[in-house]
A and B are shown apart, each in its own frame.
Chain A
Amino acid sequence: MLIKKPSDIKPSEITPESVYKNRRDFMFDGGKALLGAAAASTFPRIANAQDGDALRARAPAAMRRSPPAAWWTEKFQSIKPAPDSEPFFTGEALTPYEDVTIYNNFYEFGMDKSDPATRSGEFKTDPWSVEITGEVGKPGTYHLEDILKPHDLEERIYRLRCVEAWSMVIPWIGFPLADLINRFEPTSNAKFVEFETIVDAETMPGINSRFAIVRWPYREGLRMDEAMNPLTFMAVGLYGSYLPAQNGAPWRLVVPWKYGFKSIKSIVKINFRETQPDTTWEDLQPNEYGFYANVNPEVHHPRWRQDMERRLPQTLFSRRVIETRKFNGYGEHVAHMYEGMDLSRYY
């Protein structure tokens, strides 16, 4: 009997065990192993957690956000820490808070990676209302405070893989989208969930930029089973603190097995519908971005190789170019939803 091996791996490409182990230690250590001063200063991460603080990661005190309104303080009083096993946790080194909050794609604030952090000073997240519409039992416009009220917050450490071939590891604070969906009682016609980002030209300087070719508002969507998957998360914070504007304040979607652009930010509308919604990037360049956008090293983007990624932060001395895993490593929990689908066609 013929046992098939991946044909594209030559013996010469297999990394020697010692090197491999080194790299593994370097990237996957849980923050306890001491790796010397250089590594420690590059990844301060878990060192930020304070004594008696159950959360795995906290923003550096000096960088912590002030709450958008008083009720947020209370909401963040008790947060369930991330467990110590996959999929709601990963032992890979966290991307430091400083990097997570300066390197963002959020074109409503500008095209440069640092624009969302530097040009969002005017952005207001309170009061924040959310419209829930379409095929749903309890449609209406709700204050975010009321939407969040019944949900207990928890911490989850997920990988985030951008279609531009870079990735981060981020400790989010939030709750499962499934819990929210159940509360609003979608009808049997609800086959897809559509999300929209706020459009506020006065506080989002990218909206009226003459280079903006995006048709606002930014729109994203999920199939109902994807939205109900336990991994799908609504984040209201990161590193134990409130979401900064550049990361999608006051709340955003996090779908860790899909490319980052699916994880829509600063949501003001959730629409339950029977048909597949048009999404922003698919609308702009359908040959480059699909509706599903599952992380898939086998399907190459026309411009970026998708079988490897730069795990940020890179430095001159730690290149950290790692292999991209199918479904971003979450296949065990999500692959079943795509059985029988040709993923090179539904990319």
Chain B
Amino acid sequence: MREFIKPAVFLLAMVPFVLLLVRALTNDLGPDPAQELSIETGEWTLRFLLATLALTPLRQLTGQPEFVRNRRMLGLFALFYATVHLLVWMTFILGFRWFAIVEEIVERPYITVGFTAFMIMVALGLTSPKAMVRKLGKNWKRLHRLVYVAAVLGVVHLLWILRTDVSEAVLYGSIVFVLLGYRFIQYLNKKRRAVA
């Protein structure tokens, strides 16, 4: 039973991508597919990032180690959706004009923020194989705490592009707040125990 969980999570995580691909190929994304694809892939990136962050607390609260066994995979899926998001933006919105892409990343704060989050995720993705975990030792954990920064930057990136309705950014922001707050409280408890 247990050996099926991982493949099942993998297949499930592919579903949004496959659905988007089918809609794109059948011309079912409306007149402005760039907009639709950007919104969808951006949101799935955030969702996978938040899901990844939720696994450690879930393991601790339920005592089920299975949660953490899927953590690396969900993190890599966040990176996967972020990559598609970036590619959609580069091709459909900026028409692959390199000067424009660079200029946007440098000059437009919400894009700088989003791109920084992406670079963090790339670094975490590259150091995710077991060999890298062993090689980096103690530093691995330190490096991978940057995922908190990526999540916060992701929400800021979303908040910044919205024109009027901020409800979604508020929802994702609250989840990040709870997930990071949980860790902060744990950190305080640990410290208190150490002092006592």
Contact = CB atoms under 8 A, between A and B. Distances in A.
Nearest to B164: A213
Contacts of A314: 31-34, 92
Interface of B: 24-25, 27, 30-35, 91-95, 97, 99-100, 103-104, 108, 110, 160-161, 163-167
A44 to B, nearest CB: 13
B179 to A, nearest CB: 25
Contacts of B165: 111, 211
A64 interface: no
* SS class, residues of chain A in contact with chain B: loop
A321 interface: yes
Given A303-B110, A305-B104, A95 B164 contact: no
B131 to A, nearest CB: 38
A113 interface: yes
A315 B27 contact: yes
Given A213-B164, A314-B92, A13 B99 contact: yes
Contact of B97 (A103, A113, A308): A308
Contacts of B161: 303
Contacts of A211: 164-167
Contact of B91 (A114, A308, A313, A319): A319
A113 B30 contact: yes
Contacts of A313: 30-32
A251 interface: no
Interface string A97-109: 0010011000100
Contacts of B160: 303
Interface of A: 8, 13, 95, 99, 102-103, 107, 111, 113-114, 165-166, 211-214, 302-303, 305, 307-308, 310, 312-316, 319, 321
Given A102-B31, A103-B30, A310 B97 contact: no
Contacts of A111: 163-165
Interface-central residue, A8, A165, A214, A310, by most chain B CB under 10 Å? A310
A310 B32 contact: yes
B107 to A, nearest CB: 8
Contacts of A213: 164
B92 to A, nearest CB: 6
Contacts of B104: 305
14 contacts: A103-B32, A107-B164, A212-B164, A213-B164, A214-B164, A302-B108, A303-B110, A308-B97, A310-B92, A314-B34, A316-B25, A316-B27, A319-B92, A319-B95
A166 B32 CA distance: 8
B33 A166 contact: no
Contact of B108 (A8, A13, A303): A303
B103 to A, nearest CB: 8
Contact of A305 (B32, B34, B91, B100): B100
A166 B93 CA distance: 9
A111 B31 CA distance: 17
B93 A321 contact: yes
Contacts of B25: 316
Contact of B32 (A13, A307, A308, A312): A312
Contacts of A107: 164
